[in-house]
Amino acid sequence: MHRLVGLPNPRQGQAFIDYMASRGITIQMASEPEGVFALWLADSQHLVEVEAELAAFIADPYAKRYAAASWDVAESRTAKFYYQNPSLLKMVKTQAGPFSLSVMVVVITIYVLWFLGFRQPIFALTHFPTMQGDEWQLWRYFSHALIHFSTLHIVFNCLWWWILGGQLEQHSGSGKLLQVFLFSALISGFAQFWLHGPNFGGLSGVVYALMGYIWWLGWLAPERGLVLPKPYVIFMLAWLVIGFAEPFGMSIANMAHLFGLLSGCALGFIDAKRAPSHA
């Protein structure tokens, strides 16, 4: 399934559902928080056609053809509005890709083992190299991003990884997401290590890189179609600044956040200036 759009009015959404049903295309409606009703396309092979029709519908939702379609299919559906909620797992899979989902599975698995008491061996195997003989263990320059130290830590990072990483992977492919992950994990890890030592971990630096990449690419090359909502940017930048105050005595890898953001902005700047590739 593919999420198409969120609408504030379920009757408006039903009009579009009926219109597409008259053309043999199935769309479902699902309620979401804050009074939003999301339209989900059942079969993604119709995505191009449906998105074109949706743009026309949003531009003129009261056109006669939509009302006519509702009358035509009224007898084939129940009189009451009923909206099937897609399962949580299906929603997670729909809004992500193979690499972003794989990282989430690995991160959660590691945290479960961490919670079950395997903290010492996990950290010994995955921490950033101390430069005392382990600098040739190359996986350490990236594996530090996969370990988390608290439930709040992993929930926050996985949520933003899913939102931002999933968006980038669906737009630009797994290769681009992998590139941002490796580059930002390396840069943010070195910055945090040289200033505070190897006792850190988490996806935060990569998450800030994703935010910076999508933000700058959307700002400098909006025609690419990769845009980050402004409230996301404001929230992430505000949290970055707050982190330096270490509220509630929290230990925060601020250099990883800052240099992750800078590395993502740099990649976004480079890609924005580079001519887009055509398949």
The tens digit of pLDDT for each residue in 120-161 reads 999 999 999 998 889 999 999 999 999 999 999 999 999 999
pLDDT computed for residue 82 by the predictor:
47
Residue range(s) occupied by CATH 3.30.70.2350 in the chain: 2-87
Q: Please, what is the Cα angle at 192 between 260 and 235, to 5 degrees?
A: 40
Residue range(s) occupied by CATH 1.20.1540.10 in the chain: 95-273
The CATH superfamily label for domain 95-273 reads Rhomboid-like (1.20.1540.10)
Measuring CA to CA, which residue among 243, 167, 250 is closest to residue 205? 243
Which residues are 40's β-sheet partners? 3, 28
The residue ranges of the chain whose pLDDT is under 70 are: 33-35, 70-88, 90-91, 248-249, 275-279
CATH number of 2-87: 3.30.70.2350
Distance, in Å, from the CA atom of 131 to the CA atom of 252, rounded to the nearest integer, reads 22
* Catalytic center residues: 204, 257
pLDDT computed for residue 95 by the predictor:
78
How much of the chain is helix, strand and coil, in % rounded to 5?
A: 65, 5, 25
Distance, in Å, from the CA atom of 210 to the CA atom of 195, rounded to the nearest integer, reads 23
